[in-house]
Chains A and B, each alone.
Chain A
């Protein structure tokens, strides 16, 4: 296994330039500019129909771009047939060849490259060891479990040492436990090989766990690119905020703005503090706060800083945490508290909600 790591050429840089694809009048992908650095794990995250899979399939060569360019290590591959791109692809359905054994599946890309049979044997064995399936070379694909099929697909896509691995929702068909196990496995292999991975998923948790950077796609466009922490904590648009995790939106107007902080007047009348903003005073805004940033406490009157009073409507027990829906600031505010929190409030109870001004993101309406 150390051999395959040592011999692997490492990761390539993938650069998408103004990449677009329309089907008739429908713009599936619009002007995507994106760079995956060598060895980077970049995830395209979006709902179905956001253009993420179309983008991946354009890189793989199965969808022809309407315009734009795709470069790997500075060389345009957009005119090349899929078999001339030398990129590893793992499909959602695994796409293993059912009429071949595990070893024959993994040997396939090497046979296409006219490797000598002795070399094929050693490299297939290495690849099987890498995905921890050494005992399975003679098995038929149909005899394997979903997780094992996934490992074979991964080995087959890596055995010819491509500089880039493209993965299309590879864990979608697996149950939760197995999915978490495979996430670790994929991450380990990616680090060992130093390969660049472009990964497509609609599962935000998976994206946060695996990625070096996440590109959030919506309606064919990339809305934000950044590390998991940045896209989660500093979402650039309300869509990104609502797509990644839970979020509360409160409507109001910028009333004051200084270098250290701003003050909003909510529609419901309360004033809350927020980070300084580039938006001028008087702008109508949406203030976004994550449910886990909010703390519940017994009612304290209206004088406490950055607080809103409300009434608990619903309490949900979620195992690790408890989720409250609180009628406050003229809307329903979601609050998440750890299960071991100080106290449990009951529906109907009056409460005060607190959060740090820094936990607020502002978007113009």
Chain B
């Protein structure tokens, strides 16, 4: 493929923009291998000690465990609720449909600090601050719009004649859904679930308010690590999270392609 001069310039510019976007995140990777106990770049020496520290200390392990369990619960809740809502909004004849969609998308648009403050107000009164259910609930609210957007997109590409065909062949509404619709939209649902997981797993602002002292998640632990100890453990954790995000992105890309192939 030969590029014209304009196209080459455009490609070069796009490359620069990508670097600008990615480099600040990548800088934590060398920092995490620092041999001394300062969070700095360029690193001095090479050591895996900060990874050891991360895996060895109880507060980091507990925060990781909290994050994983909360994110998994959020994934299940948000995917189920978001999928049901998307089905109703795409297929049902619902009055004020656009208003509902708008309302369900607001957590995605509202500044996180606004969500955090308002949830804190309500959750404090209900005794949900500093609890698992409180964290799961808060993050489900934030993850729901991502699930909704993804599943609505998949459902809009779905050929509903397939479900009608299943009905005409003797399948009840439930069987037609589970045997025909669900397998067709599964790649889209998995993408939505990954989004839900990442939304909860990465979230810090709302978590700072809601997690209290007994439901501390990994980002919250990192935040306090950064404020109180400033050592490269944070960089080590960041590097691991970066790896996880890259894996999630690859999975999403792969599933999107698979999904596009099967719905044609």
- Asked whether A and B interact, the reply is yes
A86 to B262, CA, bound (A): 29
Q: Decide: B183 and A99 in contact? CB cutoff 8 A.
A: yes
Residues of A within 8 A of B6 (CB): none
**Mask of B159-189 contacts with A, CB within 8 angstroms, 1/0:** 1011011111111110110011001100000
Residue from B171, B183, B184, B264 within 8 A of A83 (CB atoms): B171
Set of chain A residues within 8 Å of B183, measured between Cβ atoms: 99
Chain B residues lying within 8 Å of A97, measured Cβ to Cβ, are 162, 165-166, 180
What separation, in Å, do the CA atoms of A30 and B70 have in the docked complex? 57
Q: Which residues of B contact A237 (CB under 8 A)?
A: none
Whether A113 is near chain B, meaning CB under 8 Å from some CB there, is yes
> Is A184 on the interface with B (CB-CB < 8 A)?
no
Distance in Å: Cβ of B109 to nearest Cβ of chain A: 34
Cβ-defined contact, A95 with B159, below 8 A: yes
Partner of A91, one of B161, B179, B264: B161
The smallest C-beta distance from A320 to any residue of chain B, in angstroms, reads 37
Contact B170 A62 (CB under 8 A): no
Please tell me the number of chain B residues within 8 Å of chain A, measured between CB atoms: 22
Q: Which B224-262 residues have a C-beta within 8 angstroms of A? A: 262
A109 to chain B: closest CB distance in Å?
Answer: 4
User: Is there contact, CB below 8 Å, between B170 and A86?
Assistant: yes
A112, B169: Cβ atoms closer than 8 Å: yes
The docked-state distance in angstroms from the alpha carbon of A270 to that of B87 is 67
Name B168's contact: one of A87, A99, A113, A142 (CB within 8 Å): A87
Cβ–Cβ < 8 Å partners of B175 in chain A = 112
Known: A60-B168, A109-B170, A156-B169. A98 touches B184 (CB 8 A): yes
- Pair B180/A82 contact, Cβ less than 8 Å: no
Known: A93-B159, A99-B184, A99-B262. A83 touches B164 (CB 8 A): no
Cross-chain contact A89 with B165 (CB below 8 angstroms) = yes
Q: Is the CB of B167 within 8 A of A81?
A: yes
Residues on A with beta carbons closer than 8 Å to the beta carbon of B169: 83, 89, 108-109, 112, 156-157, 160
Nearest-CB distance from A163 to chain B (Å)? 14
**Residue A61 at the chain B interface, CB threshold 8 Å:** yes
Q: Which residue of A lies closest to B175 (CB)?
A: A112
| Contact string against A for B residues 172-208, beta-carbon threshold 8 Å, 1 for contact and 0 otherwise | 1101100110011000000000000000000000000
Chain B residues with CB under 8 Å of A170's CB are none
Q: Which of A62, A86, A108, A113 meets B164, CB within 8 Å? A: A62
The answer, yes or no, to whether A39 is at the interface (CB within 8 Å) is: no
Binding site for A on B (CB under 8 A): 159, 161-162, 164-173, 175-176, 179-180, 183-184, 262-264
Task: Mark A residues whose CB is within 8 Å of B.
Answer: 60-62, 81-83, 85-89, 91, 93, 95-99, 108-109, 112-113, 142, 156-157, 160
27 of the cross-chain contacts (CB-CB < 8 Å) are A60-B168, A61-B168, A62-B164, A81-B167, A81-B173, A83-B167, A83-B169, A83-B172, A85-B168, A86-B170, A88-B168, A89-B165, A89-B168, A95-B164, A96-B165, A97-B180, A98-B263, A99-B262, A108-B169, A109-B170, A112-B169, A112-B171, A113-B170, A142-B264, A156-B169, A157-B168, A157-B169
